Amino acid sequence: MVPSLSTKDLILTTLSAAAVAVLLRVFVVGLFSIPSHSMEHTLRAGDNIVVSKVSTWFDSHQRGDVIVFELPDSLRGTAPDEPFIKRIVGMPGDTVRISRRGVTVNRIPLPPPASSATTRAIRSGRKRIIVPSGHYFVMGDNRENSWDSRYWGTLSKDHIIGTALLIYWSYGPSDDNAEPHIRWDRMFHRVL
Tally of residues, the chain: 192
Q: Are 112 and 143 in contact (CB under 8 A)?
A: yes
Q: Which of 75, 106, 76 has its CA nearest to residue 91?
A: 106
User: What's the CATH number for 32-186?
Assistant: 2.10.109.10
pLDDT tens by residue, 40-62: 989 999 999 999 999 888 888 99
Q: How many other C-beta atoms lie within 10 A of the C-beta of residue 96? A: 22
Angle (CA) 168 172 173, round 5°: 130
Specify the pLDDT at position 77.
65
Q: How many other C-beta atoms lie within 10 A of the C-beta of residue 116? A: 18
Q: Which of 55, 28, 40, 35 has its CA nearest to residue 160?
A: 55
Helix (H) or strand (E) holding 9, with range, is helix 7-27
The separation between the first and the last C-alpha atoms of the chain, rounded to the nearest angstrom, is 50
pLDDT tens by residue, 101-134: 889 999 999 988 766 555 555 655 678 999 999 9
Q: Is 124 a catalytic residue?
A: no
Q: How many other C-beta atoms lie within 10 A of the C-beta of residue 24? A: 12
Catalytic-labelled residue, pool 52, 53, 55, 86:
86
**SS3 label, residue 44:** coil
Q: Is 86 a catalytic residue?
A: yes
Q: Where are the domains of the chain?
A: 32-186
pTM: 0.84
Rounded CA-CA distance 148/122 in Å is 13
